């Protein structure tokens, strides 16, 4: 049994999301970028890509490197699919990584795992924004989440609300009376309303290319991205506007 498995969640529900995953960044698809960022982590014992059996998502297998397995889940909702993959690949814990986050940072992922091992009672470990919310709820696009397998299975058995079924870890972090929640303060350099590094909208892609071209493929650590953006007020202003638009939709 593995100690910690990295799971890249690649179940795309729209044509726009599928097109975004397939777009090329430095010769690699966005999905391949995310997978490779995950395999660069020092604290993960393996990485697998999770998709569903929607024929529209069959393309996922063609974008994933051959050395990384792809699991096709048949469950109806994201929580059920995530519970299923943890049965197919026995592991004590998993790190959940969104496929639309090309700059997800290996250092920040490893910090989750190290924190979880230092606090063996934790069922969920994530980053926390200054307003108290889990960072996974913001479009920062650099963070992931750690979850204990048995806790995720419990959530799958108990969660009934549609929102809890659609957002894989929501049932855990909204029920601290049932689960031990550990939240790490997000680095202040990225805990800002004018930082947006996930790729959900067309303009996100344009900003992603701008960052990639400015730093190059070997200098995409979170702190270097934060430093770059700190000197680019026009980009941050546009990111802040996009965050506001997303919050209102």
- Whether 187 and 105 have beta carbons less than 8 Å apart is answered as no
Residue 87 near residue 17, CB atoms below 8 Å: no
**What three-state secondary structure class fits 32?**
helix
Q: Whole-angstrom Cα distance, residue 184 to residue 218?
A: 27
Evaluate whether residue 241 is within a structural domain: no
Q: Is the pLDDT of residue 143 over 80?
A: yes
- 237 domain-assigned: no
Q: Which of the pair, 183 or 201, is modelled with greater confidence?
A: 183
CATH code for the domain in which residue 22 is found: 3.90.550.10
Residue 233, domain member (yes or no): no
User: What string of DSSP letters covers 138-178?
Assistant: STT-S--EEEEHHHHHHHHHH--SHHHHHSTTHHHHT-TTT
Spatial distance between the Cα atoms of 206 and 200, rounded to a whole number of angstroms: 11
On the question of pLDDT at 249 being above 70, the answer is no
The range of the structural domain enclosing residue 18 comes to 2-188
Q: What is the pTM of this model?
A: 0.95
Q: Is 29 helix (H, G, I), strand (E, B) or coil?
A: strand
DSSP 134: B
Q: Is residue 114 a part of any domain in this protein?
A: yes
In-domain check, residue 242: no
Which pLDDT tens digit goes with each residue over 68-117? 999 999 999 999 999 999 999 999 999 999 999 999 999 999 999 999 99
pLDDT value at residue 248: 65
The count of domains in the chain is 1
pLDDT in tens, 237-247: 999 999 987 77
User: Is 212 contained in some domain?
Assistant: no
216 occurs within a structural domain: no
Residue 58 in any domain: the answer is yes
């Amino acid at each position: 049994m593995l100690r910690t498995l990295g799971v890249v969640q690649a179940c795309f529900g729209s044509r726009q999301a599928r097109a975004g995953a397939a777009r090329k960044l430095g010769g690699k698809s966005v999905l391949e970028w995310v997978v490779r960022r995950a395999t660069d982590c020092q604290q993960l014992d393996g990485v697998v890509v999770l998709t569903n059996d929607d024929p529209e998502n069959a393309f996922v297998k063609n974008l994933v490197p051959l050395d990384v397995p792809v699991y096709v889940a048949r469950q109806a909702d994201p929580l059920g699919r995530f519970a299923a993959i943890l049965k197919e690949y026995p592991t004590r814990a998993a790190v959940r990584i969104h496929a639309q986050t090309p700059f997800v940072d290996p250092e920040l992922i490893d910090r989750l795992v190290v924190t979880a091992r230092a606090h063996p009672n934790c069922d969920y470990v994530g980053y926390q924004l200054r307003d108290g919310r889990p960072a996974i709820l913001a479009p920062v696009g650099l963070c992931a989440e750690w979850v204990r397998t048995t806790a995720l299975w419990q959530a799958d058995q108990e969660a009934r609300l549609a929102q809890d079924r659609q957002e894989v870890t929501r049932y855990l972090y909204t029920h601290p009376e049932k689960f031990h929640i550990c939240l790490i303060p997000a680095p202040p350099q990225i805990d800002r309303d004018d930082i947006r590094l996930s790729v959900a909208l067309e303009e996100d892609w344009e900003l992603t290319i701008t960052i990639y071209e400015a730093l190059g493929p070997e200098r995409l650590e979170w702190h270097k991205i934060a430093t770059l953006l700190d000197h680019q007020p026009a980009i941050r202003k546009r990111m802040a506007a996009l965050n506001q638009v997303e919050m209102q939709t």
